[in-house]
Every structure is written in C-alpha cells, then in structure tokens.
Structure 1
Amino acid sequence: MAKGGKKRSTQKNKVTLKMAKNAVRVTPDGRRRLDLSNMGIETFPKCLLKLPDLDELDLSRNQLKKLPGLIGDLVSLRWLDLHSNQLEVLPDTFGQLMSLSHLNLSNNRLTSAGLPHSLGNLTRLRSLNLGLNQLDALPGTMVGLRGLQELGLFDNLLTSLPECVQVLTNITRLNTKRNPFSQGHSVNRDRLEKEVYLAKESSLCGSCLNRCKEERRWTLGGGRRRGGEGDADIRGRPYSGLITPNSLAQANQDQWRLIVTNHGPGKSSALKDGQRATEYGFA
C-alpha cells in the first residue's frame, strides 16, 4: 500500500509533453507562456525541450536541484522564473539563452562558484534577481550585461559591491539589503531609486499591504497615519516598476515568505508581517 501511494505521488509530479502543451497560454501581447510553478517538481521536465518556441517559462516554487545542459536549447525564452528551488549550480549552457530579458533565480542555494561565466552572454537582460542565495562574488563577465536595469542581490554574503555592478551604468533599481558589507562600505545610490515595490497590492496579505502603504505615505512626504486622509489616492495605484507576469508574490504566501538568512545554509525564518515586501526581488 505504501509503495502504491508513493508511486501515485511521483506520478502526480511528473510533467508530460501532453500536459505541458495543454498548459501553454498565449499572453495578451502574443507570447507563449507556460506556468509550472508550485507543482512539487524535483527533476527538470525534459519534455519542455520539445517546446522550443516558448517565450515565458515559470518553474518557481518547486524542488529543482539542477538544470540539464540542454536547457540552453530553449533559445526563444525571454522570461524565466526559477525562484524558490534548490539550485546550487547553473550549467555553462545557460549563457545560450541570449533572448532572456527577465531572469529570476532568487531563493535558491547558488554559490559564486555555481554562477557560470557564460552569464555575461545574456546581453538582453533587463532584470536579474539573485537575491536569497549564498553569493560572495559575481562573475566578472557580468560587465557584459550593459542593458541591465534591475538587479537583486539582497540576502547574500557580499562584503562589498562587485566591481562589475559598478560599471553597469543603466541599472536604476538595485537591492543589496542584508549583505555583510564591510564597515565603511557604501553603495552609490545617486542614480538609483531607493524604494522598489515588487508586488501587486492584490498579492499581499492585509497587514503587509497596510505597512507598505504606511511607508509609502511617509516616503512621499505625506506623513499621514494609517486610515487618514489620502488613502484613496494610494488605493489601487500600481507600484512602479512592476513587470508582469509576476509569480513571486502570488498564491501560497507562506511558502515564499521563507527566507534564507546569512547565519548559514539550511536555516530559515519566516517573514514577519511588518517586513516590507519590497525586498523580495524582481520578477
């Protein structure tokens, strides 16, 4: 009986080519999108390699430990979300995904040795999220990401801002929170926006949403208390810089609230209601 139950469980998490084809949706702008997030997938579905015309692929909130080298064959991908898996290393062929404009690798187990030098080949990248990993350096080849505009490096092991980041002059949104920067180190934010809202209002729980609204009012200089005058102006206004579709703060909030602290691998703590959702990277 136990064996039968285990077999059914494994079968449930298996993605077949037929399932994948049926799950492909066309976005309003005509892109072919496949959402396989939060399905308990442990092994990269090789059947996806038979869908070379995919534009967007969401494999976030699964249990992927590695990616096959053949992932480089999905050359048409423009948007790839792999956040909240268990990835430690990216294959060298990752640099073949040269059509990518948005890449989310946050909340994995990536170390600096696990980032291939070929990452610098992704010259069309506009948004890159490497937050919530175990990075203490970045590949020097990332100087080639000249079009990069948004970069998430929060909750890593960086003791200083990598030199390759300092020369990427098109970056306008940079998140380096909760890194063990050496004393006296400072990030030049003259050209960077200090507040980045990264979740839709509809994706936040009530207390987080109220906290974000409160902080936004004070940031804008309104100084109004929660529930005071001015709420109508903020309600329903989308946060700036949102890139859709954004799976990072969608359903199952308890799962994506788990963060890896800098106290060591394997330890985690839950995001408190008062903590801002602004620190959870770029979609």
Structure 2
Amino acid sequence: MEKKGGRSERELKKLAKKAINITQEGKRRLIFSKMGLITVPRFLIKMRDLNELDLSRNQIQKLPEAIGTFTSLTKLDLHSNKLESLPESIGSLVGLTHLNLANNCLTTAGLPSSLGFLCNLTSLNLGLNQIDALPSTLEQLAFLQELALFDNCFTEVPEFVPTLQNLIKLNLERNPYAEAEYERIRQEKLDQAEELYLVHENNLCKGCIKKCKAEEEGMLRNEDKAEKIPEKPAVLEEKRNRFEGLMTPNSVAAVTQDVWRIREKE
C-alpha cells in the first residue's frame, strides 16, 4: 500500500471522512492541511461533491488532470505546497470563487490560459511564487475583487489589471515593480520636503526656534553678500512689525496665518 507522509491510503481515507464537516451555509468542507501529502490521494479524486477543499501546507508537487472534475468546488486552498505548474483542467472549476495558490513554485509558464475560464472567481492569491507575467485571459475575470501578486518577479503591473472593474484590492508588494514605484514616491517626497512654509514661532519647540533663527541669520548674511545696496532700515523695520514672531522653517503653517493676512491688508 502506497504511503503518503507516513500514512497509508486507507488511513488517509479514514481521516478524510472524519475531517469532512458541513458549514453554516450547508457546504461540504474538507480540511486536509499539514498531512505530509506529496500527491493528491486517489480516493480524494472521487469525492466530487465537496464544496470547499483545503490541501494547504503539504508537499504536493503536481495536481492531477482529474482536479477539473471537482465542479462543485467554490473554494480551493493549495497554498504552501511545491506546485510548479497547474493543469489545463483547472479551468473547468467554473464554480470557484476563491483560489489560493500562494507560497508555491509557480512560474509564468506554469499558469495555463484556462485560468481565465474561472468566471465566478472573486479572490485569487498568487503571492510568494516566481511569476513575472499573467495570462492575458485573466482579463475575463469580471467578478474578481482581490488579486494578490506579492513576492513575485513582476517588473510592471499586468496591462489588463486596470480593466478589472470589480477589483478593489491589489497586492504587488515586494516585486521589482513595487520597489521601483516606492523609490519614485520616496524621491517625490524628498523633493517636496525642500519647500518652505510659514509658521508662527509659538508652534515650535525651543530647539526648532534656535535652528530656524540660525538658518534665518545665515540667509540674511548671504543676502548681504549678494546685494551691494542693502535694504533701507525703515523697510526692514516695517516688515518686522507686520510679521512679528514669524519664522520660515520646513513645517506646516498655523491657523493664525489668517490673522497675519488681515494685518497685511490693513
């Protein structure tokens, strides 16, 4: 008798029968996770009335073509296995709403175009694989709401993704694309940080006031060197009186700016 993770086919069959439970929605669910499976047991292929099947956290390297006969499935969880490819027959699971293939060894070549036939799919998890592109047929997944592509090899967002009208959650973290996008956003924030804003010194701590005054004095010294004719004392005095206590550090302006604007108009 063939062994699966130290257990015989007969032992696994008994365990499977005991593990089947009925959800509150009346669906038949089998959780066969962490069983040390290398292949999908033969007896399991005959359990075609299952609605939810969890084969996660095993060591399954290949799915049989017969997986396509599980037409009653709405949820299929295969995360944390050793799958390198998917059979074309997986496209026959048109009742699927949730498909989890995260943390496998899938590549772009291992994704069949038939994935696009899963017309009722709302959640697809392909994270933690070795994928750099998706089959263009996935643009047919009109009901897809969540698409996880994190920890892969994408250098750009798949072209069809913006056309998925019901997509509300896209995870592209830790991809070459995501890193490049992060760097662009970071640089934009650095560039914006160079802008100056008005703020009243009452809103600053002592350390910030000291630093700002030092910067202000430095700016004034630079202006004196650049201009041969200094500004008239009367004009300088007028500006100091009009904007008493006003500083120009990199910070957010206080609400009291409205008061200063009124004074300026007066």
Specify the TM-score bucket, using the shorter chain as the normaliser.
Answer: 0.5 to 0.7
Rg (Cα) greater in structure: 2
Report the TM-score when normalising by structure 1.
0.60
CA–CA separation in structure 2 for the residues paired with 1:98 and 1:114: 19
The CA deviation string for residues 191-225 of structure 1, in whole angstroms up to 9 with x for no partner, is: xxxxxxxxxxxxxxxxxxxxxxxxxxxxxxxxxxx
1:141/1:12 CA distance change after superposition, 3 Å: same
- 1:160–1:185 Cα contact (<8 Å) kept: no
1:88 matched residue in structure 2: 84
Structure with bigger helix share is 2
* Preserved CA contact (<8 Å) 1:135 1:158: yes
Are residue 37 (structure 1) and residue 33 (structure 2) matched?
yes
Which of 102, 113, 119 is residue 117 of structure 1 equivalent to? Answer: 113
Percentage of pairs with the same residue = 54
**Counterpart for residue 3 of structure 1:** none
Task: Give the 3 Å change call, closer, same or farther, for CA 46–9 of structure 1 in structure 2.
Answer: closer
Shift of 1:181: 1.1
TM-score between both structures, scaled by the size of structure 2: 0.64
Question: Comparing both chains, which one has the higher relative contact order based on Cα–Cα distances under 8 Å and sequence gaps of 6 or more?
Answer: 1
Distance 1:77 1:17 in 2: 19
CA drift of 1:22 comes to 2.4
Match of 1:97 in 2: 93
In structure 2, the residue matched to 1:62 is 58
Aligned counterpart for 1:156 among listed residues 142, 152, 156: 152
CA distance in 1, matches of 2:81, 2:74: 20
Matched residue type, 2:85 = V
Alpha-carbon shift at residue 27 of structure 1 (Å): 0.7
Question: Do 2:9 and 2:41's aligned partners in 1 also have CA atoms closer than 8 Å?
Answer: no
2:74 to 60, 70, 78: 78
Query: Are 2:4 and 2:38, in contact at CA under 8 Å, matched by a contact in 1?
Result: no
Name the residue aligned to 1:23: 19
Instruction: State the Cα distance separating 1:163 from its structure 2 match.
Output: 1.0
CA distance 1:8–1:50, change in 2 (3 Å) = closer
- Deviations along 1:43-95, one digit per CA (max 9) or x if unpaired, are 11121121111000000000000000010000100000000000000000000
Q: Calculate the aligned-residue CA RMSD, in Å.
A: 2.1
Q: Does 1:173 align with 2:138?
A: no
Q: Which runs of 5+ in 2 are unaligned?
A: 183-266
Retained in 2: the 8 A contact 1:131–1:152? yes
Aligned amino acid, residue 134 of structure 1: Q
Equivalent residue of 1:163, what SS? coil
The alpha carbon displacement at 1:14 in A equals 7.0
Q: Which runs of 5+ in 1 are unaligned?
A: 1-5, 187-283
Alignment-mate amino acid for residue 86 of structure 1 = K
Q: Note if contact 2:28-2:51 (Cα within 8 Å) is conserved in structure 1.
A: yes
Give per-residue Cα distances to partners, 1:238-268, cap 9 Å, x unaligned.
Answer: xxxxxxxxxxxxxxxxxxxxxxxxxxxxxxx
C-alpha change, 1:18 and 1:8, in structure 2 (3 Å) is closer
Question: Is 1:72–1:95's contact at 8 Å kept on the other side of the alignment?
Answer: yes
Question: For residues 182 and 107 of structure 1, do their structure 2 counterparts lie closer, same or farther at Cα, with a shift above 3 Å needed?
Answer: closer
What letter corresponds to residue 157 of structure 2 in structure 1? L
Aligned pairs for 1:183-222 (under 5 A) are none
| Structure 2 CA distance for partners of 1:158 and 1:10, relative to 1, 3 Å | same
Q: Indicate yes or no: 2:44 matched with 1:48.
A: yes
Cα pair 1:156 1:178 within 8 Å, conserved: yes
CA offsets 1:94-119 (integer angstroms, 9 cap, x no match): 00011000010000000000000000
Q: Any idea what SS the aligned residue of 1:63 has?
A: coil
CA shift for structure 1 position 35: 0.4
Deviations 1:121-155 (A, max 9, x none): 00100000000000000000001101000010000
Decide whether the 8 Å contact of 1:13 with 1:41 is kept in 2: no
What letter corresponds to residue 114 of structure 1 in structure 2? G
**Corresponding residue to 1:139 among 120, 135, 142:** 135
Deviation at 1:16, TM superposition (A): 3.8
